[in-house]
């Protein structure tokens, strides 16, 4: 899957990083490559921007995890709000990500002749 400059610019706007000082294009391309999506033909040509943006917002919030609130000289400083706001952005983008399907496979498979499963986990054991 190839990531275009337009897609990188879109992600850069979503994460409020207008320059390459913190996240260069190669790093953002790697984030986008983690979340490929199938197009109408089933080819992985689309990208889940929201999932990538959520990951980056969580990473950015981690840098502010040690910040704390304090009061000094009559002022009340709420430095923890930075991390709180970044985590809120991550939750917001995470809630918009594309959902995926999970395929469950029975193990062991059913008996070929009868179609019955060789075990059923919630039945009581037979007594003597």
Report the alpha-carbon distance of residue 1 to residue 46 in Å, rounded: 8
Per-residue model confidence as pLDDT tens digits over 68-120: 778 888 888 888 888 899 999 999 999 999 876 667 776 777 777 877 776 66
pTM (two decimals): 0.70
Q: Check if the beta carbon of residue 86 is closer than 8 Å to that of residue 60.
A: yes
Q: Check if the beta carbon of residue 23 is closer than 8 Å to that of residue 12.
A: yes
Average pLDDT over residues 12-37: 94
Q: Would you list the domain boundaries of the chain?
A: 5-95
Nearest to 12 by CA among 69, 22, 101: 22
Those residues whose C-beta lies under 8 Å from the C-beta of residue 68, and which sit 6 or more positions away, are: 79, 80
């Amino acid at each position: 899957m190839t990531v275009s400059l337009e897609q990188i610019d879109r992600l850069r706007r979503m994460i409020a990083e207008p320059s390459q000082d913190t996240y260069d294009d190669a790093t953002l391309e790697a984030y986008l490559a983690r979340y490929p999506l199938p197009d109408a033909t089933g080819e992985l040509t689309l990208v889940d921007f929201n999932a990538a943006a959520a990951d980056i917002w969580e990473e950015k919030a981690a840098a502010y995890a040690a910040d704390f609130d304090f009061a000094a000289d009559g002022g009340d400083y709420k430095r923890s709000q930075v991390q709180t706001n970044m985590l809120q952005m991550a939750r917001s983008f995470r809630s918009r990500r594309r959902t995926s399907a999970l395929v469950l496979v029975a193990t062991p498979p059913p008996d070929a002749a009868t179609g019955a499963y060789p075990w059923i986990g919630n039945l009581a054991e037979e007594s003597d």
